[in-house]
Amino acid sequence: MNAPVKSLTGLDLRTEIDRLRKERNAVILAHYYQEPEIQDLADFVGDSLDLSRKAAATDADVIAFCGVRFMAEVAKILSPEKTVILPDMAAGCSLEDSCPPEQFAKFRAAHPDHIAITYINCSAAVKAHSDIIVTSSSAEQILAQLPMDQKIIFAPDKNLGAYFNRKTGRDMLLWPGACIVHEAFSETELLKLKAQYPGAPVAAHPECPAFILDHADQVGSTRAILEFALASPAETIIVATEPHIIHQMEKAAPHKHFIGAPGADGNCNCNMCPYMALNTMEKLYIALRDLEPRIELDEGLRAAAKRPLDRMLEMAAGTVGKGDVGKTKVTGD
């Protein structure tokens, strides 16, 4: 049994959050990159695709989204009638920031013969300018449904786009964005770690640069990394993504040794997402108590952003064929 997490005038936050969750008919969704206490009390922990599906399917009145802002926006886009709260509205994303909507709209306009496949880590306004949204776990399946001669802009993550170009043999035009967390891994430090633990496989997220992925035995979404780590016969596994995912690995396989891949000086916290870290138990409690801060979206923007998200959910379920993908009409910004 975990010890009570107390603060804000000595409240037992876990008990209080539980009480408010029932009172509000709320569901708590948490990303694998959240702190362990939040993962442990969430109704569901998952990657972006899992969380999108849960947000679309829930019958709760309130979605308390423990992740970053674009993820909570996705919940609101898919479930506009729900109240969606985010413990800290400042929980942004460096990848989202690397793709301003106005510049993306101009880039699209300059390539009228391309469709835009956009990673879910972007603002609602960029989604509204996209044809299909993908997550790291759905991208390959979705790309496989498009003709090989289809011209594609892939945004905003250049590392993820380059990885899928290599994997699928496509030549997608890449928007030059990146995630500060996954860019922080050091090849030199990773090689030192591999020498220290010979035979330990490396599982890496495709947001990492190619110089890290080249040393990986498994490349995949956070969920795929988790599944690989648990299924691998290896006792020691090196994990190259945000290290809070190791919490789920240690819970499921306490006998194994999971090591986070190091950042530049081998010992920094630069591979921890500073945006995810803004959400705390105290802020989650306050958000459930006050039903603030809330995600609110202009209806035109929400509807425009929903179309490419619906395409993702349909294509990830295999219900859309090769000929069904046309361009999204952009109606909002």
Integer Cα distance of 175 and 107 in angstroms: 9
Helix (H) or strand (E) holding 203, with range, is strand 202-204
Residues in region 24-63 near ligand SF4 by CB under 6 A: 33
Site track 193-232 with ligand SF4 (rule: CB under 6 A), x = hit? ----------------------------------------
Integer Cα distance of 30 and 72 in angstroms: 10
Integer Cα distance of 217 and 240 in angstroms: 11
Select from 18-26, 39-47, 90-98, 110-118 the region that touches ligand SF4 (CB under 6 A): 90-98
Give the CA-trace dihedral at 246, 251, 253, 254, to 10 degrees: 100
Q: In this structure, what DSSP letter does residue 185 have?
A: B
Select from 158-166, 177-185, 211-219, 293-301 the region that touches ligand SF4 (CB under 6 A): 177-185
Integer Cα distance of 119 and 139 in angstroms: 8
Ramachandran quadrant class, 18 (left: phi over 0; alpha: psi -120 to 50; beta: rest): alpha
Coil, helix or strand at residue 294: strand
Contact between 242 and ligand SF4 by CB under 6 A: the answer reads: yes
Site track 127-166 with ligand SF4 (rule: CB under 6 A), x = hit? ----------------------------------------
CB 39 within 8 A of CB 244: yes
**Nearest alpha carbon to residue 204 among 327, 171, 105, 186:** 186
Among 5, 84, 174, 181, binds ligand SF4 (CB under 6 A): 181
CB 223 within 8 A of CB 137: yes
The residues pairing with 12 across neighbouring beta strands, listed in sequence order, are: 6
Select from 16-24, 221-229, 260-268, 273-281 the region that touches ligand SF4 (CB under 6 A): 273-281
Integer Cα distance of 198 and 209 in angstroms: 22
Tokens at 153, concatenated: 């802009």
Among 121, 138, 221, 279, binds ligand SF4 (CB under 6 A): 121
Integer Cα distance of 28 and 34 in angstroms: 12
Contact between 95 and ligand SF4 by CB under 6 A: the answer reads: yes
**Between 14 and 209, CB nearer to ligand SF4:** 209
Among 5, 60, 84, 93, binds ligand SF4 (CB under 6 A): 93
Contact between 94 and ligand SF4 by CB under 6 A: the answer reads: yes
Considering CB under 6 A, how many residues would be counted as binding ligand SF4?
Answer: 13
Could you tell me the smallest distance in angstroms from the CB atom of residue 272 to ligand SF4? 9
Select from 12-20, 125-133, 272-280, 322-330 the region that touches ligand SF4 (CB under 6 A): 272-280
CA 286 to chain centre: 24
Select from 226-234, 253-261, 270-278, 299-307 the region that touches ligand SF4 (CB under 6 A): 270-278
Among 27, 179, 193, 219, binds ligand SF4 (CB under 6 A): 179
Residues that bind ligand SF4 (CB under 6 A): 33, 68, 93-95, 121, 179-181, 242, 273, 275-276
